[in-house]
Amino acid sequence: MLRGKKILLGITGGIAAYKAVDLASRLTKSGAIVKTIMTNNACEFVKPITFKSITHQPVITKMFNEEADIEHISLADWADLLVIAPATANIIGKVASGIADDLLSTTIMAITSPVFFIPAMNINMFNNSIVQKNITKLTDLGYLFMEPEIGMLACGYEGKGRYPDNKEIFYYISAYISYKQDLVGKNILVTAGANQEKIDPMRFITNYSSGKMGLAIARAAHIRGANVKLVYAGVSDKVPEYLDSIEAYSAEEMHQVVSKEYEAADITIMTAAVADYTPKTYSKQKIKKTDNFKLELNRTNDILKELGDNRTNGQILVGFAAESNDIVENAIVKLNEKNLDFICANDLKVSGKDETCITVISKDSQKKYDGEKFEVAHKILDTIIKKAE
């Protein structure tokens, strides 16, 4: 997604500066051309040679360089995107006040391409109303921000301020470069994962769904500006903190949450592998081993069918069908039976993997996409959105 894209990476003097080395590496490996600007204080944390060795591109630290062109202008003109990772309270404050007193802040003043801040700092610094007002001001002016994560901070405090996972920053950059914010104003409900149906305090029934596809769709839609609500059961990956999400372990919990959220959704994408059966009774005490144990099961509510039967005007409903055989044929049956707009058919073999191969089927079309789940998620969204227009 980033092949040939020109990314300017601004590194400021935060403790997370060393983490940006991995970001530079991910961007470079994905085919982007990455040039780096480091503030003087950033150089106290990481040496410029580290970024130069990773990106194979210049790392610029000085404003006044007799051998170079007027660098703040040439770098600003060159870049498709400027990413400041980590962004200190200082750089945010300087930009919000129009200060241009070093190469990075001056380049930010001169650039017309999007500027993306990844703030990371102590919780009290982040919560400081001056920092918050500066972020609001810059957001209103069109600068992009990624929320810091909550967790243990290097300073010993616990709370919001941690540098996010580079994987998430990478997703953000790649989706933004390709799609900008084309889903603003859309309410999208996504389910993900595998339900857990409890037998006793120790045991439950579940299935192989990892939730990766649902997370990829929720993540892609969120970055493209949609108002996403994620309802998830057992997922193998961490749910990004920036997603508005509700955990619903059992099929019945998922049924209740989805029924409540459905009406507000313009688009509902049901990727979760909802349990078809649940134990007839739940034993509060752990069931002892016997030789002739029998487990009686009840059918769960068919959430997708219920949504299909209760559609209001213009709502788009998308189901997923993971099959072991006759994948497309079985999916078409489900599309019709459940009154869906689209069904995404895939082979059970892709469960848990980062790559997939999916056929998106509607009543009058079939499109096959394969690749990394995040990239396929964008293709699925593109196909759905075309119908919504």
Write down the least CB distance from residue 271 to ligand FMN, Å: 36
Q: How far is CA 125 from the centre of its chain?
A: 26
- DSSP state, residue 239: P
Which residue type sits at 35?
K
Write down the least CB distance from residue 366 to ligand FMN, Å: 50
88 contributes a contact to ligand FMN by CB under 6 A: yes
Instruction: Enumerate residues 6+ apart whose C-beta is below 8 A from 301.
Output: 251, 252, 255
Identify the active-site residue in 43, 155, 344, 357. 155
Where does this chain touch ligand FMN (CB under 6 A) — which range of 68-76, 84-92, 107-115, 201-209?
A: 84-92
Structure tokens at 293: 């144990």
13 contributes a contact to ligand FMN by CB under 6 A: yes
Helix (H, G, I), strand (E, B) or coil at 304: helix
- DSSP state, residue 203: -
Helix (H, G, I), strand (E, B) or coil at 110: helix
Where does this chain touch ligand FMN (CB under 6 A) — which range of 87-95, 134-142, 323-331, 373-381?
A: 87-95
Window 27 to 46, contacts with ligand FMN (CB under 6 A) = 39, 41-42
215/231 Cα distance (integer angstroms):
10
15 contributes a contact to ligand FMN by CB under 6 A: yes
Interface residue with ligand FMN, options 75, 120, 316, 322 (CB under 6 A):
120
Closest to 19 in 3D by CA, of 203, 167, 200: 167
195/251 Cα distance (integer angstroms):
6
Write down the least CB distance from residue 112 to ligand FMN, Å: 22
Contact in structure between 317 and 311 (CB atoms under 8 Å): yes
14 contributes a contact to ligand FMN by CB under 6 A: yes
Residue placing its CB nearer to ligand FMN in the complex, 63 or 91 = 91
Q: Judge whether 155 counts as a catalytic residue.
A: yes
Catalytic residues, which ones?
155
Enumerate binding residues for ligand FMN (CB under 6 A). 12-16, 39, 41-42, 88-91, 120-121, 125
